[in-house]
Amino acid sequence: FGTIALLRAPDPTPSSTSVTAEHITVSPPTVIPLSQDEILGLLDRTPDYGPFADPARRASCLSGLGYPASTPVLGARPIEINARPGVLLVVAGDTPHGVAAYAVALNCSAADTGLLANTQIPRP
């Protein structure tokens, strides 16, 4: 009986909640819309922190990014990525010969960085 019932079972109908490869969307990686030279040029200018001019807000954001609150920001400027306003923060990189650039949302904090994009750049 069981085998006959399985052979005569109707084909499954697609569910409106099932996930298939055609329903999965992947966003392209977001990149910082500045060249490496433009980002490195921030190291020679006075940082424009925007809303992170307040040291406590800046420290909270850095903490959320995984840096000690006392990490020096080497460069900063307002930036827009995918029509979202943010601030680009440049800090020392993982190696002595590089920097890390983080584009964060204006509400960046220890609880939520609102990371828009990031990259590592070697220093010349």
CA proximity to 118, closest of 72, 48, 67, 53: 67
Query: What's the confidence (pLDDT) of residue 124?
Result: 77
CA 56 to chain centre: 21
pTM of the predicted protein model = 0.76
Query: What's the confidence (pLDDT) of residue 39?
Result: 96
Predicted confidence band of residue 26 (pLDDT cuts 50, 70, 90): very low
Report residue 85: phi and psi, to 5°. Answer: -70, 150
Predicted confidence band of residue 11 (pLDDT cuts 50, 70, 90): low
CA proximity to 58, closest of 30, 82, 91: 91
pLDDT tens digits for range 44-93: 999 999 999 999 999 999 999 999 999 999 999 999 999 999 999 999 99
